[in-house]
Chain A
Amino acid sequence: MTNLIKQIIDDLLKPFLADFKEMPLWIKWGAVVMTSIAFMILAFVFRARSEGVYNDKPRIHFIQNMDNQPKFVSQEANAMFNDGRGMRPKVEGTVARNEMTGDTHFFMGIVDEAWATTFPDQITVDRPLLDRGQGRFNIFCSPCHGAGGFGDGVIHHRAQRLVETGVNGTTWVAPKNLHEDMIAAQPVGQIFNTITNGIRTMAAHGSQIPVADRWAIVAYIEALQLSQNADASTVPNADSLPRVDEGSNK
């Protein structure tokens, strides 16, 4: 056994070391540098794949594969136009398809130059519409007006705090309580118009919410208002419901 090891050392390792000793220095250093670079690339790859490592430099795609084509996609910049937009704004005075405003009832909430008091023919007030309206109200209205419409949304609270501390010139007019008599008395067309075009400090939301959804929100606001002005006579089978004894609660 020891003979074998000795033989291996004598026949293989010693000539190898002898050869290696003769090798020019620049080749040895070259090998060291190349190996280091190889490991540095691996380390770089490992770092790039690690969680919590962020990079704000533009992404490099080694294999392009037509990832970027000579066309303009939504909201892409286009240096050809002065405003830099690839998507062109609507030319003033034109009406896009589906935006025909001749139907003033549906599109503007106006009938015979007065606020519409009924919903337009395109809208059927039923449970799905109210559900839709509730969803849309919670997205677009509740931040300021609150989920119940009392004018106590989260943005209102935050803005009030900012006004109290006087941060960055914040001013705030409290959002309306939708249950106020003045608003509860408004015809549906007027509420629709307020959503579409805004009023006082409330911005217009017409561009954010499609027409049918705005009517759904109007329907839901009506339902909210109704809920705050309900009495026992409007509840079906009110007599059969359990009642709270008002005296025993105290």
Chain B
Amino acid sequence: MTESRFTFPQWTNLALPAAIVIGMTAPLYMAIVVAYGFSPQATDVGYMPEQPIPFSHQMHAGELGLDCRYCHNTVEYTQHAAIPPTETCMNCHAQIHPQSDKIQPLFESYETGMPIEWVRVHDLPQYSYFNHSAHVTRGVSCVSCHGRVDTMEVVYQHEPLSMGWCLECHRDPDPHIRNPDLVTQLEWGLDMSAAERLENSALWRTHNDLQPSEDCSTCHR
């Protein structure tokens, strides 16, 4: 019993080749998973939270053609494009569809003064500074960052809103510049050829002397 010595079984010969194969593929695999799986394209794009009221932008902004700024009226003056207060909804809904089950939370909010708890869809990291008014008044359309909200039954995040994505436009803003009066017309420019579109953009860029900054402190202040 004492003289029986431990010997590695024969199959452990495979340990070395297996270690080599795993050692070579695992880092590559991890790199792929982190690069593709941790990016906002995977984690954030397509985020479509359920809202307390099934508000349809497709109906209000698309079919009825209400201007984005009727409700998000602070977008031209302030950093934050405000979610409208209950009061704004009541401008119309005091009379239209008042007995609809779907909008009862609206009336509840109006009577009690408690805010409707809308779920934020587009949420930038809090170490980055973004100003809506700086973009909208210079001719960057809502559609550039939010997609065709006027066709969305339920709003979802359309763009990654990552730093690389921001810089892409700050380095070459031309595809995203238009007449500042037309920023809320989301379908504008779709019937133009790419060349026409760029020509128009360049015109407005020169006209408004736009030189988007790439300094760190522009967004991280």
Contacts and interface: CB of A to CB of B under 8 A. Distances in A.
Interface in B112-171: 113-115, 117, 123, 125-127, 156
B218 interface: no
Interface in A1-59: 15-16, 18-24, 38, 41-42, 44-46, 48-49, 52-56, 58-59
A54 B156 contact: yes
A61 B181 CA distance: 37
B210 interface: no
A77 to B, nearest CB: 7
Contacts of A69: 126-127
B150 to A, nearest CB: 14
A154 interface: yes
A171 interface: yes
A123 B44 CA distance: 46
B97 A170 contact: yes
B80 A168 contact: no
Contact of B125 (A60, A67, A140): A67
B102 to A, nearest CB: 9
Contacts, number: 138
A23 B8 CA distance: 12
B182 to A, nearest CB: 11
B65 A209 contact: no
B94 A203 contact: yes
A67 B98 contact: no
A187 interface: no
B98 to A, nearest CB: 5
A159 interface: yes
B11 interface: yes
Nearest to A142: B67
B48 A54 contact: yes
Q: Give the residue among A46, A53, A77, A155 with the most B Cβ atoms within 10 A.
A: A155
Contacts of B211: none
B42 A49 contact: yes
B80 A84 contact: no
Given A22-B10, A66-B126, A201 B70 contact: no
10 contacts: A45-B36, A45-B42, A75-B83, A85-B115, A140-B70, A154-B64, A155-B96, A158-B96, A170-B97, A170-B98
